[in-house]
Amino acid sequence: MSYRLSGMKDKAHFLKGNVHYKFDNSLKPALTISSGDVVTFVCEEAADGQFTPKSTTSTLDTLDWDRIHSLTGPVAIKNAEVGDTLKVDVLEFGHHGWGWTAVIPNFGLLPEVFGEEKAVRIWTIGDDDRAQFLPGVRVPIEPFMGVMGVAWAENGPQPTMPPTMHGGNMDSRHTGKGCSIYFPVMVPGALFSTGDGHLAQGDGEVCGIAMEAPLDVTLRFTLIKGMTIPATRYETTAPTTNKVDGMGYYVTSGTGPDLHQCAMDAVRQMLDRIEKQFNIDKVDAYVICSVAGDLKIAVPVLGEGHAAHVTFHVPKSIFIN
């Protein structure tokens, strides 16, 4: 099927506020733009400002979970119709100098290890674009939006938490600056929203929380008429590897017939290694692994009697001052 790009006016817009917590095709657009326009979204951190640079673990005791995944938008694109595709180019980010990560009871990849444990860690961003909450560990920031998506065809409020064909909580660190993301248009205008800004995250986000932060993100919207896709997809302009590859990685692994168990085993071994090698508390190691460690499937389960092999990679350079 042939398709064509519609518009390409490259007009700039600015959007702050207009917060909502669900995808909903009945929401009135906060902004209506033309194809080719650029929008800068000013987004609170994922909990809608409930975390600040002064937050402590006690913040979790009063957290309003109904305000998780505060989204800015929606933005309507003129002439977008069901069956079209919306291309979103990620152009630029601005951060506010801090972020947070939490360990939440019975959440994340290893609830049987941490149980009712809870913790909040506040990261400070240095002039070199590295984040630190603990002496001796500095993580390079690579900002991206955890949630980007278009309204569902189904009426009524729809959840932001699961990743879906519409986008949602994709939590992919590869969708940062330079990435082009394609969304299937499910309702007239598409109704795009974004939020849940991350300053850094490993593939897998193993404690369930990344380096959450308020972010300003600038996006270009291009409507592609006559092109229909079944689900969100994206392409990058850089390798999908961490920018701190140069010093190598510490790698642990898990092997067995169950991918989930393999992942848990690989991460548990890495926590033990970091705790012993660097004298870092296991909760802090869990936080570090969530924002800087990558889970990789080396071998999937290929058939009956076959074992999977999952590896977990943490860059050596984050432990260098």
CATH of 245-319, one of 3.10.28.20, 3.30.1330.20, 3.40.50.1110, 3.40.50.300: 3.10.28.20
Cβ atoms of 196 and 46 closer than 8 Å = yes
Is a pLDDT exceeding 50 seen at residue 8?
no
pLDDT tens per residue, range 28-39? 999 999 999 999
53 Cβ neighbours under 8 A, 6+ residues apart? 97, 98, 122, 124
First-residue to last-residue Cα distance in the chain: 54
User: Would you give the distance in Å from CA 303 to the centre of its chain?
Assistant: 32
In angstroms, rounded to a whole number, what is the distance separating the alpha carbons of residues 142 and 279? 26
Give the pLDDT of residue 5: 43
Q: What is the band of 246 on the pLDDT scale with cuts at 50, 70, 90?
A: confident
Amino acid 314 reads V
Q: How many CA atoms lie within 13 A of 127 on its CB side?
A: 0
pLDDT tens per residue, range 189-207? 999 999 999 999 999 999 9
The answer to whether the bond into 143 is cis (omega within 30° of 0) is no
What is the pTM (predicted TM-score) of this model? 0.93
258 Cβ neighbours under 8 A, 6+ residues apart? 301, 308
Is a pLDDT exceeding 60 seen at residue 158?
yes
Q: What is the mean pLDDT of residues 96-115?
A: 96
Residue 6's φ and ψ, nearest 5 degrees, are -105, 130
Q: Which fold has domain 4-235?
A: Jelly Rolls (2.60.120)
Q: Among residues 158, 132, 199, which one has the least CA distance to residue 69?
A: 158
Give the pLDDT of residue 11: 85
Give the pLDDT of residue 243: 62
Percent of the chain with pLDDT strictly greater than 90: 90
> What 3-state class would DSSP assign to 291?
helix
14 Cβ neighbours under 8 A, 6+ residues apart? 39, 40, 42
Domain boundaries, the chain: 4-235, 245-319
Q: Among residues 239, 249, 241, which one has the least CA distance to residue 318?
A: 249
Give the pLDDT of residue 241: 72
**b/e 34-46 (16+ beta carbons within 10 angstroms → b):** bbbbbbbbebbbb
Q: Among residues 69, 77, 93, 94, which one has the least CA distance to residue 19?
A: 69
Q: How many CA atoms lie within 13 A of 306 on its CB side?
A: 9
Q: How many residues does the chain have?
A: 321
pLDDT tens per residue, range 48-84? 999 999 999 999 999 999 999 999 999 999 999 999 9
In angstroms, rounded to a whole number, what is the distance separating the alpha carbons of residues 188 and 21? 20
Q: What is the mean pLDDT of residues 254-273?
A: 97
In angstroms, rounded to a whole number, what is the distance separating the alpha carbons of residues 272 and 276? 6
